[in-house]
Amino acid sequence: MIDEPFATGSTLFHKRDPKIKIIGTTAISMVLALCTSIPVAATGCIITAILLSFSRPNFKLLSRRLIQVNIFTLFIWITLPLTYGKGETIQLSFLNIHLDGIRMAALISLKTNGILFCFLALLATSSTSSLGHGLEKLGVPRKLSFLFLFTYRQLFVIHQEYLRLQRAAKLRGFTPNNSLHTYQTYSHLFGMTLVKSWNRGERIHQAMILRGFNGRLIPLTQPQPGKADYYFLFVMLLISLFLAGLSFVSVSQ
């Protein structure tokens, strides 16, 4: 269930330095997130889709991910046309459809998907642990990147632990329904997972102390970004600037 299906690969995108990719993603998604015109959002969406295609994602996984995220967009399409804006409306039997609402829903969908494409193309192509190290290099406090890396490492162990307990409950005839017994059972399963995590934390802390840990995490040097990485960064920043310029033009019109 928890997996990094896009992180394996050997395309141009997979090989780039995670720091560079973090900066690039931030720049592009910032411009996209703040833009207010549909043509600009559409252009951004097309550009990021092209970027994504370069990273050659697995098509089946990609469509599943897109559907998941767009369930939210669907919610927007259902609510906004009925509730958003004061301008013109179209009467559709008994419903008042606001044109502003439709415009807004379209804008949000384009932005959401554009950012998603950018994210999948740039960040999902790095392993989570290398992103964690990248964050640290970019000035995120050490304690925080530490927390990030260790949490990542423990996710799998704890999830497995929870699933094994859940299996035990299932074998004893547990069928979830709307009852206090169900909620109590979930609480016990989760509570037991928590207790195990807590105790495991203690033991791992001991393991760290035994290996000389005294509160300072010393990073093992990571590969430095090369020339190709800087060119890559340049292109990403260029894309952001282009989109920002377009926004500016469309606003001033």
Residues 18-77 that bind another protein (CB under 8 A): 25-26, 29-30, 32-34, 65, 68-69, 72
**Site pattern 92..121 for another protein (x: CB under 8 A):** --------x---x--xxxxxx-xxx--xx-
115 CB-near residues (< 8 Å, 6+ apart): 29, 32, 33, 48
Place of tokens 């301008």: 87
Which residues are bridge partners to 95 per DSSP?
A: 92
Cα separation of 24 and 22, whole Å?
A: 5
**Which CB, 56 or 127, lies closer to another protein?**
127
- CA distance to 14, 38, 39, 48, 74, per residue, from 243 (Å): 24, 12, 10, 11, 26
Tell whether residue 83 is a contact of another protein (CB under 8 A).
Answer: yes
Taking CB under 8 A as the criterion, the residue among 206, 226, 228, 248 binding another protein is: 206
Distance CA 39, CA 251 (A): 11
For 215-218, the CB contacts below 8 A with 24+ separation are: 217/142, 217/146
- Helix, strand, or coil here: 95? strand
Closest of 238, 240, 219 to residue 134, by C-alpha: 219
Instruction: State yes or no: residue 175 binds another protein (CB under 8 A).
Output: yes
Nearest distance from residue 246's CB to another protein, in Å?
17
Least CB distance to another protein at residue 68 (A): 7
The least CB distance from residue 180 to another protein, in Å, is 8
When the beta carbons of 29 and 55 are compared against another protein, the nearer one is 29
Instruction: Output 49 or 158, the one with its CB closest to another protein.
Output: 158
Of 198, 223, 227, 252, the residue at the interface with another protein (CB under 8 A) is: 198
Q: Which residue, 56 or 61, is less far from another protein as judged by CB?
A: 61
